[in-house]
Amino acid sequence: MKRKKMLWIFLIIPVAIAAYYFFPEKKLPAGKTIDRLVVHKAAHKMEARSGSELLKTYIISLGKDPVGHKQFEGDCKTPEGTYTINARNPKSAYYKNLGISYPNATDKAYAEKQGKSPGGDVKIHGLRNDRGYIGKFHRWKDWTAGCIAVTNEEMEELYKAVKQDAVIEILP
């Protein structure tokens, strides 16, 4: 009896993992423009909105030390607060990226008082260019230096649909 149970476990786990990896997710509705992103860090979710309409919710990875607001360069925290999407880079080291306007004046002033750099280059990006095969498995842990990461397919959607100067609100 134990052998049959073990056999089922060894069969079910790989099938479940393959289903998770290959099962297609809901696509962003065609022709929509995203003017607001809302990140819920504790839930590891990012909402894409057009006006008051929720278009899609993404599962995200964050900085390696995600709890709390980014204060200094190298703290591996994802910032909290309201910023804008102020840049886009189709040729970054990670599959495309959208720049977040961190640090703002308050962030800079706080870091300066502490005698430190606030850091910068906080982005929404896909996976590292040589690691796209990881796909959805990247979500299983927080791994960035403070950025918000999505799959390459999701980054493609966001890159096309997020308007310049869209608001991004990053909540704890």
- Looking up residue 64, the CATH number of its domain turns out to be 2.40.440.10
> Which residues lie across from 85 on neighbouring strands?
100
Closest CA to 21 of 126, 97, 125, 132: 132
> Which residues lie across from 51 on neighbouring strands?
none
Q: Which amino acid is at 148?
A: I
Tokens 């809901």 sit on residue: 26
> Which residues lie across from 162 on neighbouring strands?
34
Q: Does residue 76 have an active-site annotation?
A: no
Q: Does residue 147 have an active-site annotation?
A: yes
Q: Are 132 and 95 in contact (CB under 8 A)?
A: yes
User: Is 51 among the domain residues?
Assistant: yes
User: Is 10 among the domain residues?
Assistant: no
Closest CA to 44 of 150, 154, 161: 150
Per-residue pLDDT tens listing for the chain (172 residues): 677 777 777 778 878 888 888 888 899 999 999 999 999 999 999 999 999 999 999 999 999 999 999 999 999 999 999 999 999 999 999 999 999 999 999 999 999 999 999 999 999 999 999 999 999 999 999 999 999 999 999 999 999 999 999 999 999 9
Three-state DSSP state, 30: coil
Domain that residue 125 falls in: 32-171
User: Is 25 among the domain residues?
Assistant: no
User: Is 27 among the domain residues?
Assistant: no
**Per-residue pLDDT, 10:** 76
Whole-angstrom Cα distance, residue 79 to residue 81? 7
**Per-residue pLDDT, 21:** 84
**Per-residue pLDDT, 16:** 81
Cβ neighbourhood burial of 44 (10 Å; 0-12, 13-18, 19+): middle
**Per-residue pLDDT, 1:** 62
User: Is 77 among the domain residues?
Assistant: yes
**Catalytic, out of 44, 69, 138, 147:** 147
Token couple for 111? 């870091």
The whole-angstrom distance between residue 4's C-alpha and the CA centroid of its chain comes to 41
**Per-residue pLDDT, 14:** 79
**Catalytic, out of 40, 44, 125, 138:** 125
User: Is 22 among the domain residues?
Assistant: no
**Per-residue pLDDT, 164:** 96
User: Is 20 among the domain residues?
Assistant: no
Domain tally for the chain?
Answer: 1
Closest CA to 119 of 169, 69, 168, 167: 69
Closest CA to 85 of 150, 165, 1, 3: 165
User: Is 61 among the domain residues?
Assistant: yes
